[in-house]
Amino acid sequence: MTPLELVGALFIIAGTLLSVLAAWGVLDFPSALARMHAATKSASLGLSLIVFGAAIDEGSWGLLGMAALVATFLFLTAPISGHMVGRATYLAGRVDNLVHDDLAGAPHTPLAVGNGVRSGFSAARLISVTVIWMLLWREVSPGTLLGGAAAAAVIEGIRKAPVGQDSIRLRGLLVFAARYIQMVFVSNARVAWEVITPSNEQIREAIVAVPLASSTPAVGLLVANAISFTPGSLTIEMTGDPLVLYVHVLHFESVEQVERDVRKLEAYAGEVFQRADTVGSP
Amino acid sequence: MDTVITMAQLGLAAAAVAAFVRAARGPTLADRIVALDLILLLLAGAVAAHGARAGTELFVPALIVVALVAFAGTIVVARFIEWRDGR
């Protein structure tokens, strides 16, 4: 067994363990929303680890790039499906074990992120879509380059962005990404601990409203996504104008505690974007 | 390596059985779709593990398709639950 194979095997073992824990949580947790916590957090990291393990075992850079793409896709989509299924469950009236519920009777104002303006062409976005296209074809050739550029151009042409779109700051993005990866591992460890220790009676579920008054929709979106990967919390609903996040927590202690955790994330997420109204000013 | 992958696939299969029990038991539609979503992700994991054993890179498109179907299906059912209960 070569060192590469050993590392690959370790990744595959860790991914399998997490997947098994996710399934056990889905089977064993006492309420519908609690089961979504296990499925959202553990299954995506578990599958990502297995795919990375397979890529490392093959020792191929192209495959490693694909694994990164698959993992990114999983981490972008898992919070969305968790959020949508969680909200549907709540609206269906299937949630009755909450010790605290801010969502009951809350006004329903949907976020107006889609009503935007046509955004200009950006070279960074064009290049990244082209690279992703070439990765998907697993081939660097004039054909894939042209195809990727064409696909990127079409996407840029029809893409609409919210009015006053924020630009991304690389340094903030890196700090946020590091913090995000750390959170993902901590929250998986927590879910794992939750699953293997039969402590279902310690679970006190609650839905807490956290206003994000000072944030733009882009920051709110990032926070909503990240919350679904922090230990024991899941975004259930997000309303706009003013921006309010509704967070489902597994171990409710106090509203202030939840708010403090979200504020910390908001500060990190705020560093990623440069607000559109402050661009160009010192 | 082959032993590791066989063990991993057995583990994933056992996990799929647990998820299947939840899908059959419910009690809500949301529980079922979360469990079925998980089964598809477990399937994707097994496909990737198989790819590592077979030494082929052909499994990647299959992996992406399975993950996409899992995501799209979950979203559609969530929409359906809201539509059905919101009328």
Query: What are the 10-residue block averages of pLDDT along chain B, 87 residues in total?
Result: 85 92 86 90 89 80 87 89 74
Give the whole-angstrom CA distance, residue A167 versus residue A273. 6
- State the pLDDT at residue B21: 92
Is the CB of A13 inside 8 Å of chain B's CB atoms?
yes
In Å, how far is B47's CA from the nearest CA of chain A?
A: 9
- State the pLDDT at residue B13: 92
pLDDT at A88 over 50: yes
Query: How do strand A100-101 and strand A206-211 relate by DSSP bridges?
Result: parallel
The nearest alpha carbon in chain B to A91 belongs to: B82
- State the pLDDT at residue A80: 87
Is the CB of A137 inside 8 Å of chain B's CB atoms?
no
- State the pLDDT at residue B64: 85
Q: What six digits make up the tokens of A28?
A: 């064993």
Residues 6+ apart with CB under 8 A from A1: A9, B1
Which residues from A are below 8 Å from B78, CB to CB?
A: 81, 84-85, 87-88
The better pLDDT of the pair A59, A110 is held by A59
CB within 8 Å: A88 and B16: no
pLDDT tier, A178 (very low <50, low <70, confident <90, very high otherwise):
confident
Q: Which of A16, A53, A94 sits opposite B12 (nearest CB)?
A: A16
Domain spanning B2-86 has what CATH number? 1.10.287
Which residues from B are below 8 Å from A93, CB to CB?
A: 85
At A9, which amino acid appears? A
CB within 8 Å: A13 and B38: no
* A34: nearest Cα among A259, A258, A232: A232
CB within 8 Å: B41 and A43: yes
Q: What is the 3-state secondary structure (H, E, C) of A8-22?
A: HHHHHHHHHHHHHHH
Is the CB of A85 inside 8 Å of chain B's CB atoms?
yes
**In this predicted model, what pLDDT tens digit does every residue of A226-275 receive, in sequence order?**
888 877 788 888 877 678 888 888 878 777 878 888 888 888 877 777 66
The nearest alpha carbon in chain B to A89 belongs to: B30
Ordered by start, the domain boundaries in chain B are 2-86
Which residues from A are below 8 Å from B62, CB to CB?
A: none
Q: What is the mean pLDDT of chain A?
A: 79
- State the pLDDT at residue A279: 46
- What ipTM, to 2 d.p.? 0.90
pLDDT at A197 over 60: yes
Give the whole-angstrom CA distance, residue A254 versus residue A265. 18
pLDDT tier, A280 (very low <50, low <70, confident <90, very high otherwise):
very low
Which residues from B are below 8 Å from A13, CB to CB?
A: 4, 7-8
- Stretch A148-159: mean pLDDT, rounded? 83
The nearest alpha carbon in chain A to B64 belongs to: A70
In Å, how far is A50's CA from the nearest CA of chain B?
A: 6
Residues of chain A numbered 42-81 and touching chain B (CB < 8 Å):
43-44, 46-47, 50-51, 53-54, 57-58, 60, 62-63, 66, 70, 73-74, 77, 80-81
Backbone φ and ψ of A211, nearest 5°: -75, 135
Which residues from B are below 8 Å from A41, CB to CB?
A: none
Give the whole-angstrom CA distance, residue A251 versus residue A75. 23
- Stretch A160-170: mean pLDDT, rounded? 65
Q: What six digits make up the tokens of A126?
A: 């064009």
The C-alpha angle A71, A77, A79, rounded to 5 degrees, equals 110
- State the pLDDT at residue A222: 82
Q: Which of A36, A44, A54 sits opposite B52 (nearest CB)?
A: A54
